[in-house]
Chains A and B, each alone.
Chain A
Amino acid sequence: MSPIIEIKNVTKEFKVLNRREGLRGSLKDLFSRDYRTVRAVDNISMDIEQGEIVGYLGPNGAGKSTTIKMMTGVLEPTSGEILVGGNVPYQNRTKNAQEIGVVFGQRSQLWWALPLVESFRLLKDIYQISDADYDNMLALYQSLVDIEPLLHKPVRQMSLGQRTLSDILAAFLHDPKIVFLDEPTIGLDVSMKSKIRTLIHALNREKKTTVILTTHDMGDVDALCRRIVIIDKGKMLYDNDIEHLKGFFGSYRTLKIRVDGDLKTQADVIQNALRDFSVSADDEWISILVDEEKAKVIDVLGQLQRSFSLRDMQLEEISTEEVIKKIYEEGVQ
């Protein structure tokens, strides 16, 4: 089966007026033809298979939204090819719209004054969803989240969390092949975030819907995505499994221990004992960065236990967040 989304060497450039400062500058700008070209997306290629959940990451202004706008048909690429479900999105915007669902940031696409169920009925007509499919979908929703209290509430009276939930349900309603979620959990509390992650995961599993997720929340990524794509300044930095990404930075784990006596002096003693690893201390913990290719954490711990009386210990995995921060800052070698 061919990929549901095919992106080949896509570049998007914007013309931006070089603005001058001050009132005089603004007046000059009125007649200025002094444009510079900004490359928001620079030669990106990727294939996405049906049913994948892809985390699309990058710092602010990296070109994430621009890529999504091109996939949804709002923007035309300057060069390169995009096929979404076999369509060229920009040329067949309405046809493409039938196959996709979009939740864009915090901008609700529902009818503001209407209760959710009325919005759903309008969407049913607009997307020409059959009665049976519509009922099945609502039943599925009912089994996943408690939608009953939402259905009869006007969207304008909903909390941000309820509104986001509603928007996500609305995006999946016509059983699209692909759903684009742009920062779906932004500004939500922990329990709502987890509810929304569970929902997205369940819908992806049930309906085999491809999900493209942009987010700054590594919790979303860890909970949902097997594959991540990272872009920065329009260029693709990384496209692979999330596991691979972690392995990529060596198999480091941080062992933290607490011992009797002054931590700083003890840390020096430990450093002398463990020459392979870097040891540091703060007010509470002595941290040992263990490279598991050289020695297993459990062996290091055993060795320490023979010489010191350990009062407490902690083990920290290197987090996705740290890895990605490292990629933003240093790039992939």
Chain B
Amino acid sequence: MKRKGLGFYFRIYCKILAQDLKSKMSYRADFIISTIGMIFTNISGFISFWILFRSFPSINGWSYYEMLFLYGFSLVSLTPVQCFFDNNWSLRQYVYSGDFIKYCFRPINLFFYYQSEVFDIKGLGQLAFGIGTLAYSWAKIGLAFTPLMLLKMIVFLITASLIMIALQNAAAATCFWIQNSFYVLDLAFRFKDYAKYPITIFSPVFRFIFTFVMPIAFIAYYPSLVILRPDEVPLLSWLSPVFGVVFFLISYRIWMYGATKYSGTGS
């Protein structure tokens, strides 16, 4: 057997992705409706945001455009989890029904094989919307646009994505131990709504929770400080790429450990 490196997995992923897109388009009505749905979700999200901040031009020293920047940042950083890890939402059903066992029989990484099966194209609308919001607020705040800034931006966007992915993996993996993990997953998913606000507006208790317990402050707040407030970047911001990678690896381990504990149902 040949060794299976990154190149192998990348090729396989592209092929599965292409097939998945093909099959998605074969359900044409479903494809169109879900795309329209995603656009409306984003627009309504933006409108509620806009109504809220029209009344408060600044919160705790955060201007409207800075808030908008955070909002855009969180949208972009949530895209990978939406696009590539959406199958986590179905994990519970696969485990419950015993169908999860089919993933155990292939000679490739179990986590990879499972996640590769679904690519959620709706995330792309969110990505476009997020990038638009980011660019707009970037211009309005008058931030410089240098290669270094762009590099920082990309590194911290990846960081933020990894943390959200880690949260979702860990939350989804709970179904290997408890029957109804939907609430855990839903909780993690709802918490991310708080990610788009600067955590300084929350009470110290929640600040602590969002930093160390459910680290959603790393999804937008800490990383974007590096761009928005270059003079007062806390240590946590600089450490967030490390946290991102570490959290992701931990969540991967939890997920895989859960999968090995899985014994399947009788047939």
Mark A residues whose CB is within 8 Å of B: 14, 60-61, 65, 69, 72-75, 93-95, 97-98, 100, 102, 104-105, 107-109, 111, 113-114, 118, 121-122, 125-128, 154, 182-183
Are B264 and A126 within 8 A (Cβ)?
Answer: no
Q: How far is the CA of A65 from the CA of B1 in the complex (A)?
A: 28
The segment out of B84-92, B99-107, B179-187, B193-201 that lies at the interface is: B99-107
A197 to chain B, nearest CB (A): 20
- Residues 202-243 (chain B) with a chain A CB within 8 angstroms: none
Q: Hey, which chain B residues are within 8 Å of A65, CB to CB?
A: 264, 266-267
Are B15 and A109 within 8 A (Cβ)?
Answer: no
Q: How far is the CA of A107 from the CA of B103 in the complex (A)?
A: 11
Are B26 and A118 within 8 A (Cβ)?
Answer: no
B16 is an interface residue with CB less than 8 A from chain A: yes
Mark B residues whose CB is within 8 Å of A: 1-2, 11-12, 15-16, 19-20, 22-24, 26-27, 98-99, 101-102, 104-109, 117, 262-264, 266-267
Q: How far is the CA of A211 from the CA of B105 in the complex (A)?
A: 16
Are A98 and B12 within 8 A (Cβ)?
Answer: no
Q: Hey, which chain A residues are within 8 Å of B109, CB to CB?
A: 94
Are A74 and B101 within 8 A (Cβ)?
Answer: yes
Q: How far is the CA of A109 from the CA of B94 in the complex (A)?
A: 12
Are A100 and B105 within 8 A (Cβ)?
Answer: yes
In-complex Cβ contact of A126 among B98, B102, B104, B106 (8 A): B106
In-complex Cβ contact of A118 among B19, B99, B102, B262 (8 A): B19
Q: How far is the CA of A238 from the CA of B107 in the complex (A)?
A: 33
Given contacts A109-B102, A111-B19, contact A128 B267 (CB under 8 A): no
Q: Hey, which chain B residues are within 8 Å of A93, CB to CB?
A: 104
Q: How far is the CA of A73 from the CA of B263 in the complex (A)?
A: 10
* Nearest-neighbor residue (CB-CB) of B98 within chain A: A107
Q: How far is the CA of A113 from the CA of B117 in the complex (A)?
A: 11
Are B102 and A104 within 8 A (Cβ)?
Answer: yes
Given contacts A94-B109, A154-B23, contact A125 B15 (CB under 8 A): yes
Given contacts A69-B263, A69-B264, A113-B26, contact A126 B12 (CB under 8 A): yes
